[in-house]
Structure 1
Amino acid sequence: MSILMGQAHDSDVSYSETRYALRDKLNIAHTVPILLTVSRLAGWKRVDRAISAMPDVLKSFPNCVLMIVGDGTERDKLQSLAKQLGIEKSVIFTGAVKQKDVWKYYAIADIFLSLYDLSNVGNPLIEAMRYGKAIITLDIGDTYKVIKNEFNGILLPVNKSDRIAATIVYLLSDEKLRKYLGCNAQEYAKQNFWSWNERMNAELAVVNKLRENWFHEAVVDTKVTSIEIS
């Protein structure tokens, strides 16, 4: 099992209830399709690809919303791009969000987008998998080792990034496929990645083992010293 982990939310709160409650808080109707990106807003994260896809997505789903979670040096540039494309009302920049609250945005999303220039394998992608999200990503770096095309996500060739909008429309039009991809992604994550609690428990076990070994060695050293003195 990999030591990479998603910050899975451990709560008694109903996932569906939270999904609708947060949508209400954000004044987003329960039926509005939500696309999600979660990352630091750096150039190589290529959030601009998601924004650039929106005009074509909106032709088929006029009420669709792109939610961009995170902050960074590219934020002003990305906001300007959304305005330039005339879609600023369909793009929500949340700014920085505390890690303990990020799970809420996965809860309300229909599709998770990860469109980096480098490998897409990282905590945001893994978190999306753990929450059973339908994922669209690019086949770059070692992403293919985690996302199996049309099984636990959609893996687009990096030279076909112009198909992002069409792929989003395709997935938004097929709820059954979204659920299929999401369920497989979630199962893959359970089998291959530790949750936050699982990782913490594993690390505590290692620390406790080291303490036990240290204590045992200290006792042995004390006995040896006593024998030598006598």
Structure 2
Amino acid sequence: MNIGLFTDTYAPQVSGVVSSIQTLRQQLIDHGHRVYIFTSTDPNVPKEVLEPDVYRFPSFPFIGFKDRRLSYRGAIQAIQLAKKLELDIVHTQTEFSLGLMGKLVARQLKIPVVHTFHTNYEDYLHYVANGKIIRPASVAVIARSYMAGMTGVIAPSKQTFDTLTKYKVSAPIEIIPTGVSVKHAKQDDTSTYLREKLGLASQTPVVLSLGRVAFEKNIDTALTIFAEVLEQVPEAMFVIVGDGPAMSALKDHVRSLEIADHVIFTGEVDHKEVYGYYKLADVFLSASVSETQGLTFIEAMTADTPVVAIRSPYLETVVLDKNIGSLADDSYDLMAPLIMYLNAKKQQQVIGNPAVRQKVLHDIDEVTFGQRVLDFYSEALVVYHEEEDMEEADSNDFEYAKSFLSRTPFHKNNK
């Protein structure tokens, strides 16, 4: 099968969406399929670098979210390329520029188009003119309009499924959680080296935050909780891995809390070291309430690192035992389980049932994920010709594009 993945976001950008796409691509390739990435140009990719089966289209940065980009031309070239590659199915990963391009390609080639809804945009509207251009009520309209005519839609979690149902999306929706690698080679565990690099003793209790350092992640709240934890576990350290727009504000917050000696900001790290950071931690902490899935949570699970986080419909499906982690109804309730796991490190205590963790790991394995998506593709190919109404689909796409572009909140600087 020849598969086209259309996405505005791709490596070297760092995000959960990128990780999901790269995992899916590799699983599809491992099953013997040919996978082509249609994505935006990126100034961090040198022109002389060859990217096999990756096709980039001219783009500009998204206003207020400058490390994300949107393409502004290339639809005709994409159609010609897709015909040459003899695509069998299009899988879009964005509702914006490359997503529209993917839908157009599918219409022209008369092949099915499916979509993965990765992001609850209601939690990110502040990036676009402080939420003054696109309102929360508009998100449902945009999502519903974009997914009209889709052969099928993938929701990475029950929480996302419920959101799409609330939006009254008409396309068939299936829940397929994004998978991660649950098997790691011995050399992947660089935790001993990283502890030495960071100046952490082997017995120092470590709290970890890993991911994009953004305001919606509520890392400031996590730091405030950690400051209180230090009163009971005074030797604990908080390691924050990643970079993003909230970095400067968080450093100011750390100084105001007077805990600078207990917080380490690593900045963005090489992906090869990520597993090592999970392994060096005794607990993974998140105060975010914007996660529809949260790959960092399940990545922590693969490293046997318990998670402490705010309760969500998604996390309730994976955090099934204290061995996996603990969920709280509000940020203040994060403190008790955080202290529990840090003290367990000092006492060499095993909390909960490890067997439950192993069952969950099987369900989130990248191999399971890849097979479920392939089964979804197979079903889409079967039903496509029975259900596709080309005239109505084209009309839906035109109305969506017109309504979106009429208030497009993008930079005009095409760098």
TM-score band w.r.t. shorter chain: 0.7 to 0.9
Verify the 8 A CA contact 2:176 2:369 in the aligned structure 1. Answer: no
Verify the 8 A CA contact 1:44 1:116 in the aligned structure 2. Answer: yes
Q: Which amino acid aligns with 2:336?
A: A
| TM-superposed deviation, 1:9 | 6.4
| TM-superposed deviation, 1:122 | 1.8
| TM-superposed deviation, 1:93 | 0.8
CA distance in 2, matches of 1:182, 1:116: 26
The Cα offsets for residues 138-192 of structure 1, whole Å up to 9 and x where unpaired, read as 113432122236353101113xx11222321122223479633483564144221
Q: Structure 1 residues 49-58 or 68-77, which shifts more?
A: 49-58
Verify the 8 A CA contact 1:134 1:181 in the aligned structure 2. Answer: no
1:193 matched to 2:367: no
Equivalences for 1:45-194 in 2 at 5 Å? 45-119=217-291, 121-148=293-320, 150=322, 152-158=324-330, 161-175=331-345, 179-181=350-352, 183=354, 186-194=357-365
SS at match of 1:59: coil
1:5 matched to 2:175: no
**Unmatched segments (≥5 aa) in structure 2:** 1-174, 379-415
CA distance in 2, matches of 1:182, 1:125: 18
Verify the 8 A CA contact 1:36 1:113 in the aligned structure 2. Answer: yes
Query: Given the superposition, is the C-alpha separation of residues 45 and 165 from structure 1 closer, same or farther in structure 2, using an over 3 Å criterion?
Result: same
| TM-superposed deviation, 1:25 | 2.2
Verify the 8 A CA contact 2:237 2:263 in the aligned structure 1. Answer: yes
| TM-superposed deviation, 1:77 | 0.5
Query: Given the superposition, is the C-alpha separation of residues 184 and 110 from structure 1 closer, same or farther in structure 2, using an over 3 Å criterion?
Result: farther
CA RMSD of aligned residues (A): 3.1
> Which structure has the highest helix share of the two?
1
Q: Which has the higher contact order (CA 8 A, sep 6+)?
A: 1
CA distance in 1, matches of 2:203, 2:317: 33
TM-score normalized with structure 2 length: 0.44
Percent identity for Structure 1 against Structure 2: 25
- Which segments of structure 1 move beyond 6 Å, counting only runs of 4 or more? none
TM-score normalized with structure 1 length: 0.75
CA distance in 1, matches of 2:356, 2:288: 19
Query: Given the superposition, is the C-alpha separation of residues 117 and 88 from structure 1 closer, same or farther in structure 2, using an over 3 Å criterion?
Result: same
Q: Which amino acid aligns with 2:197?
A: K
1:39 matched to 2:211: yes
Q: Which amino acid aligns with 2:340?
A: Y
Query: Given the superposition, is the C-alpha separation of residues 142 and 3 from structure 1 closer, same or farther in structure 2, using an over 3 Å criterion?
Result: closer
| TM-superposed deviation, 1:2 | 4.5
Query: Given the superposition, is the C-alpha separation of residues 105 and 87 from structure 1 closer, same or farther in structure 2, using an over 3 Å criterion?
Result: same
Verify the 8 A CA contact 1:118 1:140 in the aligned structure 2. Answer: no
Among candidates 12, 25, 29, match of residue 197 of structure 2: 25
Structure 2 counterpart of 1:215:
none
**Unmatched segments (≥5 aa) in structure 1:** 211-230
Query: Given the superposition, is the C-alpha separation of residues 172 and 182 from structure 1 closer, same or farther in structure 2, using an over 3 Å criterion?
Result: farther
Say how many residue pairs are matched: 203
| TM-superposed deviation, 1:135 | 1.2
| TM-superposed deviation, 1:60 | 1.4
Verify the 8 A CA contact 2:180 2:364 in the aligned structure 1. Answer: yes
| TM-superposed deviation, 1:99 | 1.9
| TM-superposed deviation, 1:54 | 1.9
